[in-house]
């Protein structure tokens, strides 16, 4: 007997019993995002490795440790670890900068990161997200944050915390980085290996560390004073104040978290996370922010942009179990020829239909119908002779005899 091949670590089959939850998330995304004038985009699952090195940032853990990269025809290709860079590449390549601003896009699909599997996150995981191009004003930030909140509410999540911060622009951020390095220099040897590397390459990412020893250092008074200082320039300060003002107008409750920097290099000014109190330590269900330099960095025109992404596995872990949808009709008959014709007719008029293909007895077919369908469409000898069918409502057991051409209307209202 051959060895059994099993699913790879960090990946999962999405089985029929679970698929209704996925459909619910996807259909709600389509409804909520479309209502805000966002259009769906679908980009390839793999891209040139350079796209992520330049876009996500070569100092990030994603690029340094977590990418699935392979060589093909002397080209380095990578399974996408996130989708913002891919959407930006498509925006540039397909000339979407010529469209009237804002250009509003949303996506869903699998992403790939080689990391330790954890609750709500696998090595192949799924995200739903949005990207908006062409708006530099704070209204754009609030459009994205409010859209995220509205989507999470639409799928039934209520116990949420919105955290926001401003990273400033590249110019005013440099002075902050210098002060941060100065105050942390005495503790450099006490920082974890990743933080020691980040200290030189991207000191702002130090604040994103989850190691408890590092977090305790950032709580020291002299370090915390620098972290919580208002380092941004007047223009960035005014932008952030307007974001807060507009969030208040929409009655979106938030807290300012000075440690919030997000894990990707392309963010500037407003960043945000939405957390669920129903998860453990890994409680973020949405993350995003503004990335005004990314389009230009990837070869496009200077274009402001803002967006977010949500991990779908985490969202599903917070949803109540979705009730499995039953088939509309189940044809019950001992006459295979007539059953096949009737099933085909019902499907063609838009009624989801199934029937027994194993030639079970009539009573067994009825028993199956009661489990999988809302209606049993019964085609016995008497019905065949009369050119009619019996329709049984399997919820209230009411049964009627009708002409075949009436079936569609009867099932819709019966």
pLDDT of 287 reads 94
- Could you give the domains of the chain? 19-169+232-318 (3.30.930.10), 327-413 (3.40.50.800)
pLDDT in tens, 57-76: 655 566 666 888 989 888 89
Q: Beta strands of 293-411 (E only): which ranges?
A: 305-311, 327-332, 353-355, 373-378, 388-393, 399-403
Q: Summarize pLDDT for 82-93 with one digit per residue, the tens.
A: 999 999 999 999
pLDDT score, position 119: 63
Residues in the chain: 414
Q: What is the pLDDT of residue 338?
A: 92
Task: Give CA separation, 251 vs 193, 201, 245, in Å.
Answer: 42, 39, 10
User: Of 29-33, 233-237, 361-365, 366-370, where does the model show the most confidence?
Assistant: 29-33
User: What φ, ψ does residue 368 adopt, rounded to 5°?
Assistant: -65, -45
The predicted structure's pLDDT at residue 33: 98
> What is the model's pLDDT at position 169?
86
* Cα–Cα distance, 272 to 285 (Å, whole number): 11
Q: Are 288 and 307 a contacting pair, CB within 8 Å?
A: yes
- The larger pLDDT score, comparing residue 262 to residue 52, is at 52
pLDDT of residue 222: 82
Q: Sorting pLDDT into bands at 50, 70 and 90, what band is 267?
A: confident
Residue 324: is its pLDDT beyond 90? no
Residue 235: predicted pLDDT: 93
Average pLDDT over residues 183-198: 81
Q: How many CB atoms lie within 10 A of CB 385?
A: 8
Amino acid 313: pLDDT:
93
pLDDT of residue 115: 77
pLDDT of residue 282: 62
Tell me which of 162 and 172 has the higher pLDDT.
Answer: 162
| Whether pLDDT at 81 is above 80 | yes
Task: Give the residue, 357 or 205, on which the prediction is more confident.
Answer: 357
Per 3-state DSSP, the chain is made up of helix, strand and coil in percentages (nearest 5) of 45, 25, 35
By C-alpha distance, which of 360, 356, 361 is closest to 343?
356
The pLDDT assigned to 279 comes to 64
DSSP 322-352: PPPPPEEEEEE-S-HHHHHHHHHHHHHTT--
* pLDDT for 298 beyond 90: yes
- Write the pLDDT tens digit of every residue in 375-404: 999 999 888 889 899 999 998 888 999 888
Alpha helices in 114-254 (DSSP H): 138-154, 170-184, 193-201, 212-218, 221-227, 234-249
Average pLDDT of 28-34?
Answer: 97
Which pLDDT belongs to residue 61? Answer: 60
Whether residue 49 has pLDDT greater than 80: yes
Minimal CA–CA distance to 234: which of 143, 145, 171, 307?
Answer: 171
**Confidence category of residue 284, pLDDT binned at 50, 70, 90:** confident
Q: How far apart are CA 5 and CA 11, in angstroms?
A: 14
Spatial CB neighbours of 90, under 8 Å, sequence gap ≥ 6? 41, 43, 96
- pLDDT score of 272: 96
Tell me what pLDDT residue 262 has: 67
For residue 175, pLDDT beyond 90: no
Q: Are 295 and 101 in contact (CB under 8 A)?
A: no
The pLDDT value recorded for residue 346 is 92
pLDDT, position 120: 60
For residue range 117-162, what is the model confidence (pLDDT) as tens digits?
Answer: 666 678 999 999 999 999 999 999 999 999 999 999 999 998 889 9
298 — phi, psi (to 5°)?
Answer: -100, 15
Cβ(246)–Cβ(223) below 8 Å: no
Going by pLDDT thresholds of 50, 70 and 90, the confidence category of residue 280 is low
CB 55 within 8 A of CB 84: yes
pLDDT for res 263: 59
Is 90 exceeded by the pLDDT of residue 101?
yes
Q: Across residues 303-326, what is the average pLDDT?
A: 90
pTM for the structure as a whole:
0.85
Q: What is the pLDDT of residue 409?
A: 76
Q: What is the pLDDT of residue 57?
A: 64
Mean of the per-residue pLDDT values for the chain? 88
């Amino acid at each position: 007997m051959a060895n059994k091949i099993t699913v790879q670590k960090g990946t999962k089959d999405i089985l029929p019993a679970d698929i209704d939850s996925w459909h619910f998330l996807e259909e709600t995304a389509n409804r909520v995002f479309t209502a805000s004038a966002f259009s769906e985009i679908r980009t390839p699952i793999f891209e040139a490795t350079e796209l992520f090195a330049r876009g996500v940032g070569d100092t990030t853990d994603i690029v340094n440790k977590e990418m699935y990269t392979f060589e093909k025809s002397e080209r380095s290709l990578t399974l996408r670890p996130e989708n913002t860079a891919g959407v930006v590449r498509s925006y540039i390549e397909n000339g979407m900068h010529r469209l009237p601003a804002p250009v509003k896009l949303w996506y869903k699909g699998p992403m790939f990161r080689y990391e330790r599997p954890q609750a709500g996150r696998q090595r192949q995981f799924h995200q739903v997200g949005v990207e908006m191009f062409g708006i530099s004003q704070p209204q754009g930030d609030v459009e994205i944050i409010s859209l995220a909140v509205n989507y999470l509410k639409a799928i039934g999540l209520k116990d949420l915390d919105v955290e926001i911060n401003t990273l400033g622009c590249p110019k005013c951020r440099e002075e902050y980085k210098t002060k941060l390095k100065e105050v942390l220099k005495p503790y450099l040897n006490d920082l974890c290996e990743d933080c020691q590397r980040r200290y030189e390459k991207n000191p702002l990412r130090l604040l994103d560390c989850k190691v408890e020893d590092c977090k305790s250092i950032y709580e020291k008074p002299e370090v915390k004073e620098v972290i919580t200082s208002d380092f941004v320039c007047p223009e960035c300060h005014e932008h952030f104040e307007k974001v807060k003002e507009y969030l208040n107008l929409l009655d979106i409750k938030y807290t300012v978290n000075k440690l919030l920097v997000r894990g990707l290099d392309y963010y500037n000014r407003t960043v945000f996370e939405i957390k669920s109190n129903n998860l453990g330590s890994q409680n973020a269900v949405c993350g995003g922010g503004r990335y005004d330099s990314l389009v230009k960095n990837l070869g496009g025109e200077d274009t402001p942009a803002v967006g977010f992404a949500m991990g779908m596995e985490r969202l599903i872990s917070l949803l109540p179990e979705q009730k499995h949808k039953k088939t509309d009709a189940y044809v019950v008959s001992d006459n295979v020829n007539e059953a096949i014709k009737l099933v085909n007719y019902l499907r063609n008029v838009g009624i989801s239909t199934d029937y027994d293909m194993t030639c079970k007895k009539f009573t067994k077919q009825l028993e199956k119908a009661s489990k999988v369908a809302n209606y049993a469409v019964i085609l016995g000898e008497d019905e065949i002779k009369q050119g009619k069918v019996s329709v049984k409502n399997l919820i209230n057991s009411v049964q009627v005899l009708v002409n075949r051409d009436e079936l569609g209307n009867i099932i819709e209202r019966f």
